[in-house]
Amino acid sequence: MIQFIDKCLDFCIIVYIGKGLFMGYVNYLKCSYCGKRLEPNLIWNLCPVCGKPIIVIYNLKQLRKVLRRDDLLSRAPNIWRYQELLPIDDPDNILSLGEGYTPLIYTRELGRQFGFYNLFIKDEAQNPTGSFKARGLSVAVSKAKELGINELSMPSAGNAGVALSAYASMGGLKSYIYMSRDVPKTFVVECIARGANVQLVDGVITDCARVAHEDNIKYERFDISTLKEPYRIEGKKTMGLELAEQLGWELPDVIIYPTGGGTGLVGMWKAFEELQKLGWVNSKLPRMVAVQSRGCAPIVRAFNNKKKFAEPWPEPVTIAEGLRVPSAIGDFLILNSLRESKGTAVAVSDQEILRAIQTIAQTQGIFLCPEGAATFVAFRHLRDQGWIGDDERVVLFNTASGLKYMHLWLGKDLLLNINKKS
């Protein structure tokens, strides 16, 4: 037993030392809209010039000289295997629960049913907080700790608040989370259990953001909400880094992604561009597809109307809480990613989403969240339109566990209506 414990301790030491081998490749920060350069180790929210999101720029020329793809093979299977492409300088500040390196599932049974044999699901439900939000908040809260920030605040539709509460408590930071009063209570319980201060607000997430902003000014809290600081997108981009590695550095033809605030989609596009500059991928970049609900589709409307920005969506209504985002501060970044990739945007109905959850659960055994199921509905629409070819490789993103949405299945009337045509 003693020998076994000694071996475990040796392993932990090796992993810890491995964290610190290649740190500190951030070059500068830059406004994603006006291009203003900013110092990397100061506290920033939005660009002080134009009020748009700030992004991290790495010294990829230098990194290319010291890091090879094969160096990743001996590293732990989590997002920190890509530490040189993440913004933490001191490994002692890393707050990790083992997030990332989620499975990429080949949908053999689903393919047999629908006659398409190149479909994969990236299952983010298997992250430690049950959703993809663990990636972004692990990095953002780690950086907040490194910068000496003690109080963090955000509006949330659920999963982001859960992740913030987890990493903030792990790092000894206080978290303040603002949720709509009608948010599924599962999310509220998860946050409170982890020590977060939760305030319920009448309205949707933009109303939560307004109340949070007022309190941030009053109590001097740091706003860590979607794209209002530079580092959550860095955690989210690891989905793209990971996907490339899992596919042998050959990117898929199409990525279909559920889009609310859009950090994941924008982050992955940033990751692919960085991989190209590192010389790690030579294939053409994927066509990116943003999926929204018909009850809240500002990005789809703006894309179809060839707009640079998306007008706020009035009275958003959808069962997919993560898609009920009437206005995204990174709207122009989402739209740029879609257009640069020659992608598209699709809106789907809630009834289609519910049927898709059942279809995938009964073929592949995966219990998707509504946002994840929306990607399968979009895939079928695009296949029917001929936008996706028979020989193309397609990846769908399931962003959270369906277990977080059990309330959708508890109403008798709803269950009876699932199989009706929309």
Q: Between 10 and 321, whose confidence is greater?
A: 321
Query: Which range has the worst mean pLDDT, 2-6, 18-22, 24-28, 293-297?
Result: 2-6
Q: Six-digit token pair at 231? A: 């580092």
Which runs of consecutive H residues, i.e. helices, occur in 115-237?
A: 133-146, 159-171, 185-193, 205-219, 232-236
Pairing of strands 151-156, 174-180: parallel
Is the model's pLDDT at 336 over the cut of 70? yes
- pLDDT for the residue 407: 87
Rounded-to-10 torsion of CA 361, 362, 364, 370: -20
- Cβ proximity of 231 and 56 under 8 Å: yes
Mean pLDDT of 58-66: 96
Is the model's pLDDT at 12 over the cut of 70? no
Q: Between 2 and 168, whose confidence is greater?
A: 168
Rounded-to-10 torsion of CA 117, 395, 302, 328: 160
Q: Per residue in 185-235, pLDDT tens?
A: 999 999 999 999 999 999 989 999 999 999 999 999 999 999 999 999 999
Q: Which residues of 40-71 are buried (b: 16+ CB within 10 A; e: fewer)?
A: beeebbbbeeeebbbbbebebeebeeebeeee
The CA distance from 255 to 251, in Å, is 9
Average per-residue pLDDT for the chain:
92
3-state secondary structure of 283: coil
- pLDDT for the residue 221: 97
Closest of 200, 202, 201, 203 to residue 192, by C-alpha? 200
Inter-CA distances, 210 with 132, 331, 365, Å = 25, 18, 40
Return the DSSP state at 52.
P
Mean pLDDT of 253-267: 96
- Cβ proximity of 381 and 352 under 8 Å: no
pTM of the model: 0.91
- pLDDT for the residue 20: 42
Is the model's pLDDT at 310 over the cut of 80? yes
Mean pLDDT of 25-38: 97
> Which residues face 348 on adjacent strands?
293
> Please, which pLDDT band fits residue 180 given cuts at 50, 70 and 90?
very high
Which runs of consecutive H residues, i.e. helices, occur in 220-341?
A: 232-236, 238-246, 263-278, 298-304, 331-340
Q: Between 343 and 10, whose confidence is greater?
A: 343
Q: Per residue in 73-85, pLDDT tens?
A: 999 999 999 999 9
Which residue ranges form the domains of the chain, and what is each CATH number? 104-130+231-417 (3.40.50.1100), 133-223 (3.40.50.1100)
> Please, which pLDDT band fits residue 420 given cuts at 50, 70 and 90?
low
Is the model's pLDDT at 328 over the cut of 90? yes
Query: Which range has the worst mean pLDDT, 165-169, 284-288, 315-319, 407-411?
Result: 407-411
Neighbouring CB atoms inside 10 A of 392's CB total 16
- pLDDT for the residue 283: 77
**If you count them, how many residues does the chain have?**
422
The CA distance from 77 to 82, in Å, is 10
Q: Six-digit token pair at 330? A: 């990174």
Mean pLDDT of 105-117: 94
Percentage of the chain with pLDDT > 70?
92
Is the model's pLDDT at 422 over the cut of 50? no
Helix (H) or strand (E) holding 114: helix 108-114
